[in-house]
Structure 1
């Protein structure tokens, strides 16, 4: 069950030079991206192919199934889904607005990270094909355990960037990213439109470069920063990603 949300929206100070931060909102310190459906156009057909290769139903999580197998069988199953991803990566298309947004973020010296359930080869292929020279670090793939939708990968990125709480753990309150109390932005498409009104979606955009004007003027979400510790996995469905837990 989700915990009650307060009514104060998440805010970040305007990034545009010369704009006064009258709200006292914190400065945005970084942003994390998913891959499929976010940096590149969604390739949903992969999931059906993966399940067919593994002989599992849609009700079964692909990675959970692989990791439930004995070591040798697990590696064989993972290689089957890697083969699907290798074939799909040659058909990757850049998400509209991809390059303008990344160029803008670099002009503001904002660190950029990736947290995905893909393996590294398709991720590197996308970066070399569409974002050569752009820096993303760290890049968290499904080799990180536990993988998404657990927020642990996001918290690892925050800690790598030096954003930590008094307990020494990663702190996501001043980032736009998935989970951990951070602001969530849904890149909407026909597959995830139902999440546009979800209580854990702060903002909805239809293409990546719409985020530039939002950040320039000052990010204002529509839900509160509250005690959502019991709801992290629910929030892990949403930041700049396809809104599906399958990838």
Structure 2
């Protein structure tokens, strides 16, 4: 048994964790006239309704372009298939829109792996713990029976706020270079590391 193979459910972030849509957040902020270093959704909440609608149009264009070019991160499809074979439910929690998330998952033919998909329109978004707690409610699992897997500090902070274990996937980068590593229960540098944390088998993906 591996470190997290006893957990009943697995919650994934989408972009940067299982798919790569190549979104350039710096370019998005520049086009919208937003500040650097502050998440886009939080800045949109500061705008008037008219300004926000204008910015959301720009955001949607970038996200749809990302959905059209998105690719599966190498090994993620095999990881999902291995976990699915074990019968453990999986969910997605993303700050992306419902439309772009559905398009991405469907286009890459991985939507069938996920029991639940929660996007930014569905409720308070990460780092708020609402989505994790809502998934636990639907699955009827205790919060410490699930794990949140993501590539960004907001993913890990949402797990901390919910009270569940977490895995920071660094996409090959040294953990000390990735914000949130100090908060994560576990760190996976490569997809193989993530597999060995989550799956009971010892073979590589």
Does the 8 A contact of 1:54 with 1:77 survive in 2? yes
Corresponding position of 2:153 = none
After TM superposition, the runs of 4+ consecutive aligned structure 1 residues lying more than 4 A away are none
Using the size of structure 1 for normalisation, the TM-score is: 0.67
> In structure 1, which of residues 25, 39, 59 is the aligned counterpart of residue 18 of structure 2?
39
Matched ranges for 1:121-200 at <5 A: 121-132=99-110, 134-163=112-141, 171-177=142-148, 178=156, 179=159, 180-189=162-171, 193=175, 194-195=177-178, 198-200=181-183
- Give the 3-state SS of the residue equivalent to 1:90 in structure 2: helix
- Aligned in 2, Cα 1:120/1:191: closer, same or farther, shift over 3 Å? farther
TM-score calculated relative to the size of structure 2? 0.79
Alignment length, in residue pairs?
A: 187
Q: Where do 5+ consecutive residues of structure 1 fail to align? A: 1-10, 15-26, 164-170, 219-247
Aligned to 1:212: 195
Partner of 2:37: 59
CA distance in 1, matches of 2:179, 2:27: 27
Q: Which structure is higher in helix share? A: 2
**8 Å CA contact retained: 2:118, 2:131:** yes
1:192 to 1:76, Cα distance in 2 relative to 1, 3 A: farther
The yes-or-no answer on 1:82 pairing with 2:60 is yes
| Unmatched segments (≥5 aa) in structure 2 | 149-155
The answer as to 2:9 corresponding to 1:30 is yes
Quickly say closer, same or farther: Cα 1:114–1:192, change in 2 above 3 A: farther
